[in-house]
Each structure stands twice: as structure tokens, then as C-alpha cells.
Homo-oligomer: A and B are copies of this chain.
Amino acid sequence: MDLLRTRGPGNFTVEDIAEAAGISRRTFFNYFASTEVVIASVTHGFLDKALQQFRLRPAGEPILESARAALVELADPMTVAPIAELYSMGQANPMLSRSELEAWDHCTVEIIDAARERFAQGSGVEIDELYLRALAGSIISCGKAAMDVWFARCGGDLSPDSLSNLRQLLIDSMSLLGSGFASHSPATPSQDRH
């Protein structure tokens, strides 16, 4: 993160990281296949927290409600801080966005698993894979959309106001999803935000 801040993405080598960490280049590669995965681990940690929250929700609850609750947990300073910083650097940077994409995708896979488990217990009925995957993918997409809009609007600001804005965006995106995108005007958000 220090190197990212000072030199900017793409302007330092693995050797620099190794030196800064007091280890050899070779040792770095023993633990990480590339700089990308190191950086992705930040986003990964962020999304892991959401996953964790999701799994804690009661099994009977509607998935969308669980997702909403899990996502809202993310709108907390300590949690968003690292990813906000990454985002602000990576908005235009192909290398960063790539590893972020991968992290979001990985999260989708995990949500699919979590949701499958939830449905499996209870009914012996066969699970509709399409339902599962389409829903999980949409949830992640909506979460990502909320984050994107938040960054565009607040530029990663961590003030309480900004964070409550993020919370509201996450909630709104889930209700859009739950209402089937109300199939009409896109100019009326469900709620006014200050």
C-alpha cells in the first residue's frame, strides 16, 4: 500500500516490494504468484467480510434480505477504508481493475455456494441452478453498482454522511433488485437521500 501510494500503480517492481518487506524477490514469489494477487487480497478481504455476514443470517430469511443486511455491514469506516483507497487509485488503472474484477467474481462463486447450502437444507427438492446463479450474480452486480456510484459521488470520502449515503445506496440497489427494477422510469429512486 505504501508503494502504491508513493509511486502509483504499475510504477514499482516485485523487487521493490521485496526490498520494502526485507525479503528476497524469490521469497515473495514463494507466497504470491504476482503483484496482482497481493492487491486483490485487499478487495478479497473486504468481500469476505460481506460473505461472513451473509452466512450469519438466519436460514429462513429471504436471500435478498440477507444480502441487504450483509452489504450494509460493509459501510463502516474500518472496512471501507482500504478498498476506498484502492478504488481511488484503480478507477482508471487496468491492472487494478482486473484484480478487483476477479475478487468480485470469486465472491459471486462463494455466494452461490452459500445460497445453495441454505436451500439444500430444508427441502430435498432439486435446486434450480439458474435461479441460484442469476440471483447471486445480480446481488453482486448491484452491490458493485452501489459502490461504483458511491465512489463517483463521494470519491471515497469516509465521513459519516458519506457512509450513510453508501448504506442507502446499498439498500436501494437491493430493493431495485427485489422489485424487478420496477420496469418503468429510472428517474425515481426509492427514497430521497439528503
Contact = CB atoms under 8 A, between A and B. Distances in A.
A20 interface: no
Contacts of A10: none
A169 B102 contact: no
Interface stretch (A1-9, A22-30, A123-131): A123-131
A55 interface: no
Contacts of A92: none
A189 B131 contact: yes
A58 interface: no
Nearest to A184: B62
A98 interface: yes
Number of identical monomers bound together in the oligomeric complex: 2
Interface in A99-117: 101-102, 105, 108, 115
Given A126-B187, A138-B138, 20 more contacts: A62-B184, A63-B181, A64-B180, A97-B105, A101-B101, A101-B102, A119-B186, A123-B187, A125-B185, A128-B189, A131-B176, A133-B148, A133-B149, A134-B141, A134-B145, A134-B181, A138-B142, A141-B141, A177-B180, A177-B181
Which 8 residue pairs are nearest across A and B when measured between Cβ atoms? A137-B141, A133-B145, A180-B180, A138-B138, A134-B145, A131-B186, A125-B187, A134-B142
Interface of A: 62-64, 97-98, 101-102, 105, 108, 115, 119, 123, 125-138, 140-142, 144-146, 148-149, 152, 169, 172-173, 176-181, 183-189
